[in-house]
Amino acid sequence: MKFFETLYQFSEGKIEVRALPSKKQAFFEISDLPGIMSFCKQNEKDHLYFGVATRDGKGGKKENIVNIPCVWADVDFKDTSREILADRLSKFPFKPSLIVNGICQ
């Protein structure tokens, strides 16, 4: 959970976690890593997602955003190959601090 601790170390608001296709949604205090882990275990058969921007706990839309802790890009490999992404990243003037490889099976 070091990932969440690092990402949200200067943030306020709640972390939104969703499970699909069940459409379960929950909001957790940034410090409630045990709660996040429990939600993930309870929904381990679903695909699990979290909102990078923290929320107010009332919804997951842009009007519910409290804090944006970083700049991120979400790349869908059905449209872009890993090789193309690697090439583009090598030419980009700013190197990523972190690359998360989320794999759906």
Write the pLDDT tens digit of every residue in 30-65: 999 999 999 999 999 999 999 999 999 999 999 999
Residue 20 CB contacts under 8 Å (≥ 6 apart), including other chains:
46, 47, 49
User: What residue segments make up the domains of the chain, in order of their start?
Assistant: 2-69
Residue 96 token pair = 């990523």
At which residue do the structure tokens 């190959």 appear?
81
The whole-number pLDDT of residue 103 equals 60
Say if residue 25's pLDDT is above 80: yes
Q: pLDDT band for position 100 (50/70/90)? A: confident
Closest Cα partner for 95 from 68, 67, 71?
71
The whole-number pLDDT of residue 102 equals 67
